[in-house]
Structure 1
Amino acid sequence: MARESILVFSGVLTAVDTVLYTVPASKCLILKSLILCNQGSSNTTFYFSIASTHAVYAHPLAAGETLVIPVTDQVIDSGSVIRGTSTAGTVTMRLSGDLLDGAASSNGFTLIHSQLSPVAGSLILGAGGKKILKSLILCNHITANRSVTISIQQAAGGTIDIIKNFTVGVGKTILVPTTDLLIVQNEVLKGSTTGSSSDISYHMTFKAVT
């Protein structure tokens, strides 16, 4: 399938929440690079969402500060929207990625954009074959710290933790370097958080493998 490197967005984030990009029909987008710069003389905060789910929430940027966010391998499906804003309207953003022919599923990807629950729930099932976790983003979009636990319920029995009571601070986004974590047949990836079921948003990209 055809793969094209594209400039997803280049410009200033205004003080109004704005659609930056909509993935075309019958395509999917792999994010590759995200660079932000506060070109103003005052501190500000910025917000960034993928598929109507927070990815960055009220992140501070000092005057003149540049921030590089390693979003590599986060996949966004056809029709999904990327939005962004900055409170002072002084933040520039340069976002690039690879646009692939076909929806995410036809390229072997499974995507999840959702919120963690206080009760350990299934995030992905190993039914249907092996998968590798390519990208994991956690975002705390409330005014209190929250702890996150992610574990694997193994096919042969027993559960192992990948992340145990990891604190995601107020307004923090964590990009977890999962380094192609393999989920095999009949394993279950589970996740939970302290607080309510709307406090921690997460984005996961899985790729089917043989």
Structure 2
Amino acid sequence: MFESIYLAALLTGFLGGVHCLGMCGGVVGALTFSLEVKNQASWWRMLPFQFAYNAGRIISYMLIGALFGALGMYLNQSLASVLPFQQSLQIVAGLFMLALGLYLAGWWQGIVVIEKAGRSLWLKLSPYAQQMRTVKNYRQAGLYGLVWGWLPCGLVYSMLILALSAGGALQGALVMLAFGLGTLPNLLLIGAFAFFFTRLSRNVWVKSLAGITVMLMGLHQIYLALVVSIA
């Protein structure tokens, strides 16, 4: 079951690229363009900076994933005698993936409510992010990525519910690592193919396919939770 969680997180990160383009595409494109102008270098020479940004972002995901995984393990140990907590978390994670799939497909915007919940924290962090946008080396790029990882995102928050059900701090961190790696191809390529990817993200069929696939994975998580409880 846990291997299935990691695969679901990886695929959700990749398929959620249509959402990443809207949330992070402007950040990636602007940073890449800024570096190219200042250094008069082609995009591929800026690729190490993009890796540094994304490494920082994924590290932030893993840290908060570990916290959520540890919290889930603690709650499970505390409440296991009262109710099937691990199974309940797995079902909730599956339901969140269903909601996320509807959102990615453009059929329901309910998950935006979750994004709004994190905006107060982002308002406190965004001034630091603005100060870090003048990047001169890889270390600064990585630090910017660490802050960038806290950008309010329903996609990330949905995966944190999955991390909560993963079974522990390490498992929660691995869920978010898998998710972050899944988002990596889309965000690395945005800098070079921003126009193409923007058009792709607006394609109804692309959005629908991504949404349906994520919903199927959510149903699979619910199925696994119910099968484990019966077994």
Structure 1-normalised TM-score?
Answer: 0.22
Greater relative contact order (Cα 8 A, min sep 6): structure 1 or 2?
2
Q: Which has the higher strand share?
A: 1
Structure 2-normalised TM-score?
Answer: 0.20
Q: Which has the higher helix share?
A: 2
